[in-house]
Amino acid sequence: MNVQTQPASHTADATTVEEGLAIQQAQSKFDSKAATDLAMQNTLLTPRFYTTDFEELDAIDVSPVRADWDKLMEQMRSDPNKGHFRKTEDWDAVDWENMDPELKAEALDFLISSCTAEFSGCVLYKEMKRRGTNEDIKELFSYMSRDEARHAGFINDALREAGVAVNLGFLTREKKYTYFRPKFIYYATYLSEKIGYARYITIYRHLEANPEHRFHPIFKWFREWCNDEFSHGEAFALLMRTDPKITQSFANRLWIRFFLTAVYSTMWVRDHARPKFHEALGVDIDWYDMEVFRKTSTIARQVFPIELDIDNPRFRSGCERMNRAAIAMDAAKARGGVGGLLGRIAAGANAAFAFANLYTIPVKKNDVPENVRLEPAF
């Protein structure tokens, strides 16, 4: 239970929506004027919409992990990061005007993609909370939705500062709802949250040692931020442990292997397409990605019965091949015509071959520990 003894003076301290609104009132007048005065670049947020098997989700019984579950819920209820997402004197000014245009484009791509990701998470989690009837599940999704909305707000503010205003036009566009089985949501969101943690903490630690490379103040907030990601991942780990079949059956082991391969190789390709961003951070992308895979693999031993062998030389060469295929695909699309079509077919075949090659690397077996819960330790 949150008890506010002093009136909050910053919206990040607000316990209720009403309180947040009251604090905002004076500031908002100035802010909205400033926003309309600036020629803001408009960016359309495009969250994804999906449905799942809500009955199956409701049927989850957390009894097998009750003690760990209650502890995690208590931690999320206490909202340890409530006051963290605020601008303090540590928020240095960013010279967007004079930033190298390529770096600026990549940095904005980072902020917009991250904002969309948090925003999509918020939409998905809130929908799960709304459609569910299982009190444990509803409580979990309400906290995760709260955290994601808070992160999205924080990034949105950084975007406004960069002259980018979000456009919520998607709300009145036709939205088609696709479908994912609950276990796909567990695997994908568990991995996203844990990889998110590994990515943020690796950058945070790197910048702690090399502060001269911190070209934007948002990186200073990464540690507490990724602790939220970490606890969300913990919740999905517990959900997966409620039923051994979700991770242990033969077919599901193959799915997990598939997810790990797809997510790791996609991350490799996306990061390598952002050279200026990583150069500004002073981060070698090959090193960074391998480090993130290593941390994620270590963490995922808590729940996945298999682990990709990232030290197998085929892993690195497979990722590199995938990247070359992605670059070739892009070039072929730009070329167009018959040549472009042939190029696309060749690039697609190359990507499929690279994926098959990565997927067939023998995996390492892992006996999941009795005790699921982990604390952020990197």
User: Closer to other proteins at the Cβ: 50 or 378?
Assistant: 50
User: Closer to other proteins at the Cβ: 259 or 353?
Assistant: 259
226 within 8 A of 200, measured Cβ to Cβ = yes
User: Closer to other proteins at the Cβ: 66 or 175?
Assistant: 175
| CB of residue 368 to other proteins, shortest distance in Å | 22
| CB of residue 369 to other proteins, shortest distance in Å | 25
The CA distance from 176 to 31, in Å, is 34
User: Closer to other proteins at the Cβ: 19 or 71?
Assistant: 19
User: Closer to other proteins at the Cβ: 117 or 140?
Assistant: 117
- The SS3 call for residue 45 is coil
344 within 8 A of 293, measured Cβ to Cβ = no
Instruction: Give the burial class of 375: count Cβ atoms within 10 A of its Cβ; 0-12 exposed, 13-18 middle, 19 or more buried.
Output: exposed
The CA distance from 353 to 324, in Å, is 12
| CB of residue 357 to other proteins, shortest distance in Å | 19
The CA distance from 138 to 131, in Å, is 9
User: Closer to other proteins at the Cβ: 70 or 352?
Assistant: 352
| CB of residue 210 to other proteins, shortest distance in Å | 19
Query: Which tokens go with 287?
Result: 């090193």
Closest CA to 356 of 324, 314, 297: 314
| CB of residue 306 to other proteins, shortest distance in Å | 18
User: Closer to other proteins at the Cβ: 62 or 107?
Assistant: 107
314 within 8 A of 358, measured Cβ to Cβ = yes
User: Closer to other proteins at the Cβ: 51 or 362?
Assistant: 51
The CA distance from 56 to 359, in Å, is 29
C-alpha distances out from residue 8 to 1, 23, 91, 253, Å: 16, 8, 20, 49
**Residue type at position 269:** V
**Residue type at position 21:** L
| CB of residue 283 to other proteins, shortest distance in Å | 12
Closest CA to 190 of 128, 253, 238: 238
Instruction: Give the burial class of 4: count Cβ atoms within 10 A of its Cβ; 0-12 exposed, 13-18 middle, 19 or more buried.
Output: exposed
| CB of residue 5 to other proteins, shortest distance in Å | 20
| CB of residue 252 to other proteins, shortest distance in Å | 13
Query: Which tokens go with 221?
Result: 């907030």
User: Closer to other proteins at the Cβ: 68 or 303?
Assistant: 303
| CB of residue 169 to other proteins, shortest distance in Å | 4
Closest CA to 186 of 235, 146, 128, 137: 235
